[in-house]
Amino acid sequence: MKIRGKALIYGDNIDTDIIIPGRYLVLQDPDELAKHAMEGIDPDFPKKAREGVILVAGKNFGCGSSREEAPVALKHANVKCVIAESFARIFYRNAINIGLPIVEAAIKGSVEEGDELMVDVVNGVIENQSKGIKLKGNPLPPLALEIINAGGLTRYIRKKLGLE
Amino acid sequence: MNIVEKILAKASGEKEVAPGQIVDAKVDAAMIHDLTGPRAIESFEEIGVEKVWDPSKIVVIFDHDVPPSTIKAAELQKRVREFVRKQGIKNFYDIGRGGVCHVVMLEKGHVRPGDLIVGADSHTVTYGALGAFATGIGATDMAAVMATGTIWLRVPEALKFEVTGRLGKFVLAKDLILHIIGMIGSDGATYKAMIFSGEAVGEIGIDGRATICNMSIEAGAKAGIVEPDEKTIQYVRERVNGDFAPLKSDPDAEFSKTFEINASELGPQVAIPHSVDNVKPVSEVGDVEIDQAFLGTCTNGRLDDLRVAAEVLRGRKVKEGVRFVIIPGSQEVYEKALKEGLIDIFVSAGAVVGVPGCGPCIGISRGVLADGEVCISAANRNFVGRMGSPKAKIYLASPATVAASAITGKITDPREVMKA
Ligand code: SF4
């Protein structure tokens, strides 16, 4: 799975209240949620992400709440992939379950905002095409890959239960 | 094996498990609430099985927006009620019956030592207070659990916190866990379990242990667990029907790291905005005036928390210009607080007492903050925008420090107020 897009850069500890504040959770509709993605630190985010972006961040991305609306809001705001030095565990699972590609890689120092990235999610290899360098992160764990290949956890479970 | 490995081995039917191993584990209980429930139900319906795996093991609790403050919230709650009825779920706590999910789970006997429990809420880790392995999951993971009764989990490495000594007067469980988070950082336990033991932890009651385990997620932990003892067994016996078998770490159990802390040296602690690991002793916080004080939540809305706040407030008044919002963690806590005269003390001091539930903790209703306002809160998160305006500031502290600050109008060491 290869993904291409421009980099948008954020710092450490981007928590779920930043990604989607609690008061919007009743919205449910993914496109409505997307309008408020990252509102806590960057009200212009939905505009910046519209064309499709790759989010690059530091440590502990997605810490805080278990709200699955966090990866859902990012995905529907047109985030193609999140690359972070580390992820909070519930966010990590949620992203895989709903089909938002993520890569664990410490690349913040080698990427500038707007750089063109090509991400090989399965192997965890990132090519910064603007700078002509290759960066290495962690490959996806096998089970995560199985879930993604099935098209998300819902379909993975349907297959396991023989429903499709 | 340590307690985490033992519980996960039991849940997955293995003789032994080790950190890093992926297990397919059977779940003893699964909890959803009014905010995460609707999405979990939707995903469950997408999976397409008719019935949940075992309606007696699913617990549904309304707490995040109760009574509903918008039509949208009322509709979502209605939908969850329909699911409860259709699936024959008996463990349903609507308003007037329950309160904050993590308070209710313990007090209504849904947690037994040695259990594996999942909840569609990050603070599910609270149940480690009774020696269970409990962890938060998202809505789709929950849908899969409701369909199959199982979940895949990676056996986590375990960090051990050996707490010696004794907490001083008005130094509480909250101060201990804030200190620990400040020490290891907000990602200090990511993917790992935190195990709390030692003399000082043994002295702390179940309410305080719940506070400690509750906040383990603020260091990124997958679970926080207190090794069960006599206090645990007594608490559980009063609430759980039937047998249970506590599991404990073997004497030769391995931990990936052990930290030693002396509780006797600790004073009241405060987490400074906007991160939970930005922790300082209250004496180093400086002059911080507050607009609001908040006591409640799954962290500090239990009876012991209300008791200590009442002790500080008795015969004193909330400072002019400060709003003190107090929300009992559950109907049971509320009732007991009424009988003990705590509510009387709060009301005559000039605090407002709200409906059991999450209140302003998640910034939806009942005490949200305006631009530039400062709140001292007994909750667990001081993230930007958590309680309303992204321009508000949240300081986290113990119930005693929150009550003392409400009296003076600025962040205050409760020992100072009690001396005066
Ligand atoms: S009290 Fe706050 S932290 Fe606890 S469950 Fe409710 S919203 Fe979450």
Spatial separation of the C-alpha atoms in residues B187 and B32, rounded to whole Å: 25
* Nearest residue (CA) to ligand 1, atom 4: B298
In tens, the pLDDT along B144-172 reads: 999 999 999 999 999 999 999 999 999 99
On the question of pLDDT at A149 being above 90, the answer is no
Helix (H, G, I), strand (E, B) or coil at B15: coil
Spatial separation of the C-alpha atoms in residues B15 and A137, rounded to whole Å: 34
Nearest-by-Cβ selection for B190 from A28, A60, A160:
A60
Q: Please name the residue that has the structure tokens 């209240």.
A: A17
pLDDT number for residue B161? 98
Q: Looking at beta carbons, which residues of chain A come within 8 Å of B186?
A: 13, 60, 63
The answer, for A102 touching chain B at a CB cutoff of 8 Å, is no
Q: Contact A75/A152 with Cβ under 8 angstroms?
A: no
**Least Cα separation, residue B32 to chain A (angstroms):** 11
pLDDT number for residue B242? 85
Q: Contact B395/B270 with Cβ under 8 angstroms?
A: yes
Q: How many residues does chain A have?
A: 164
Chains A–B, number of C-beta pairs less than 8 Å apart: 133
The residues spanned by each domain of chain B are 3-262, 269-419
Nearest atom in ligand 1 to B101's CA: 5
pLDDT number for residue A103? 96
Let me know if A164 is exposed, middle or buried by CB neighbors in 10 A (0-12, 13-18, 19+). exposed
Q: DSSP for A67-103?
A: -THHHHHHHHTTEEEEEES-B-HHHHHHHHHHT--EE
Nearest-by-Cβ selection for A89 from B186, B222, B381:
B222
Instruction: For chain A, give the percent of residues with pLDDT over 70.
Output: 100
Nearest atom in ligand 1 to B301's CA: 1
Q: What is the pLDDT along chain B (420 residues), one digit of tens a residue?
A: 999 999 999 999 999 999 999 999 999 999 999 999 999 999 999 999 999 999 999 999 999 999 999 999 999 999 999 999 999 999 999 999 999 999 999 999 999 999 999 999 999 999 999 999 999 999 999 999 999 999 999 999 999 999 999 999 999 999 999 999 999 999 999 999 999 999 999 999 999 999 999 999 999 999 999 999 999 999 999 999 888 989 999 999 999 999 999 999 999 999 999 999 999 999 999 999 999 999 999 999 999 999 999 999 999 999 999 999 999 999 999 999 999 999 999 999 999 999 999 999 999 988 999 999 999 999 999 999 999 999 999 999 999 999 999 999 999 999 999 997
Pick the CATH number of A2-160 from 3.40.1800.10, 1.10.10.10, 3.30.70.330, 3.20.19.10: 3.20.19.10
Q: Does the bond joining A76 to the residue before it have cis omega, within 30 degrees of 0?
A: no
Reported ipTM: the value is 0.94
In tens, the pLDDT along A69-93 reads: 999 999 999 999 999 999 999 999 9
**Least Cα separation, residue A160 to chain B (angstroms):** 10
Chain-chain contact of B72 with A27 (C-beta, under 8 angstroms): yes
pLDDT number for residue A92? 96
CB atoms within 10 A of CB B383: 25
* pTM assigned to the model: 0.96
CATH topology classification for B3-262: Aconitase; domain 3 (3.30.499)
A-chain residue closest to B144, CA distance: A157
Q: H or E stretch including B23?
A: strand B22-26
Chain-chain contact of B36 with A66 (C-beta, under 8 angstroms): yes
Nearest atom in ligand 1 to B361's CA: 2
Nearest-by-Cβ selection for B363 from A23, A154, A158:
A23
H-assigned helices in B108-193: 139-148, 173-184
**Least Cα separation, residue B49 to chain A (angstroms):** 9
Spatial separation of the C-alpha atoms in residues B379 and B122, rounded to whole Å: 14
Q: Looking at beta carbons, which residues of chain B come within 8 Å of A163?
A: 47-49
Q: For ligand 1, is residue B358 a contact (CB within 6 Å)?
A: yes
Pick the CATH number of B269-419 from 1.10.540.10, 3.20.20.150, 3.90.550.10, 3.30.499.10: 3.30.499.10
pLDDT number for residue B320? 97
Closest listed residue to residue B297, CA positions, set B330, B269, B268 = B330
Nearest-by-Cβ selection for A64 from B36, B122, B152:
B122
pLDDT number for residue A77? 97
